[in-house]
Amino acid sequence: MYCKLSGLTTEADWINWKVKDFYPYLDFVFESFGTDRLVFGSDWPVILISGTYTKWKNLLENYMRNFSAEEKVKVFTKNAIEFYHLQPDT
């Protein structure tokens, strides 16, 4: 079972959300699923009602700033390749 990290900003106050508002929720999903079962999702184009792709990606990258390079690759790339049975770039 995997969990896609997507759609958080559209569930918040679209105008007034702050980065730190999401940390308790991110703490929960990272503790529950770990970096082996989390997949980054853009929520495109729905995200445009509450922010931008860049803001969302930066928020998650900042949250993961103290994670290992391997853990970041899992969440942002490797887990999606495995889950969706994609062919990785060679």
Residue position matching structure tokens 């503790």: 31
Report the alpha-carbon distance of residue 15 to residue 18 in Å, rounded.
9
Gyration radius from the chain CA atoms: 13
Q: Taking the model in full, what pTM does it have?
A: 0.91
How confident is residue 89, by pLDDT bands cut at 50, 70 and 90? confident
Q: Where are the domains of the chain?
A: 3-83
Give 5-51 pLDDT, tens digit per residue: 999 999 999 999 999 999 999 999 999 999 999 999 999 999 999 99
